[in-house]
Amino acid sequence: CPRKCDREFSLAAQIAVPGQVIPACVDVEPVRFQNDPELSLYITRSLEYFRSQQELMTGAFDMVRKENRRIGLSKKHKRAAYVNLVNGGLLNDTLQGKWNIAPGIPHPRQLVGCQFWTSWELMLLLGINFCSDEEFRSLRPYCPIACGCRGGGRECPASCSSVFST
């Protein structure tokens, strides 16, 4: 999402809290990755970007090949994990509420939702830090806890500064 859509992105990520205008400093429920059109689009576009970048694809291939055990993959699942990234299986699984790093292979630490997308395993595989706002929009508005929001950081809900200041 280009910088010009800052306001729209922030508004779309707000969590409705009765009686409050400020979104809560909590990670969204994993089901939001399926049911929230903006969040689904964010993940879709992020993975489209991944598949369009040769250096990221090559990096993912190398990571799966060299670091398979570190990310919880057996030798026999290495190829399937890479194909899953390339052919959109990771995206399809997410949109169906499945948190697999390869077909039928759950995240090695059983992470789901925000914890899944911000895990070091996914960062290692994709070469994308979903909590960073350096190049693109981050998941911080949706996943402030998983992204370590403190003290009102960029794209973090303002309520996170009060949660962590006590």
Extents of the domains making up the chain: 29-139
CA–CA dist 102, 5 (Å, integer): 33
Parallel, antiparallel, or unpaired for β 105-106 and 100-102? antiparallel
**pLDDT-derived band at 163, boundaries 50, 70, 90:** low
**pLDDT-derived band at 157, boundaries 50, 70, 90:** confident
Q: Quick one: angle between helices 37-52 and 6-13, nearest 10?
A: 130
- Share the mean pLDDT of the chain: 82
58-65: average pLDDT: 82
> By CB neighbour count within 10 A (0-12 exposed, 13-18 middle, 19+ buried), where does 84 fall?
buried
> Closest Cα partner for 42 from 114, 148, 102?
114
Query: Is the CA virtual torsion 85, 88, 91, 97 positive or negative?
Result: negative
Question: What percent of the chain is predicted at pLDDT more than 90?
Answer: 35
20-24: average pLDDT: 60
**pLDDT-derived band at 50, boundaries 50, 70, 90:** confident
Residue type, 88: G
> Closest Cα partner for 17 from 156, 138, 157?
157
Residue 11: predicted pLDDT: 53
**pLDDT-derived band at 15, boundaries 50, 70, 90:** very low
- Residue 103, pLDDT > 50, answer yes
**pLDDT-derived band at 33, boundaries 50, 70, 90:** very high
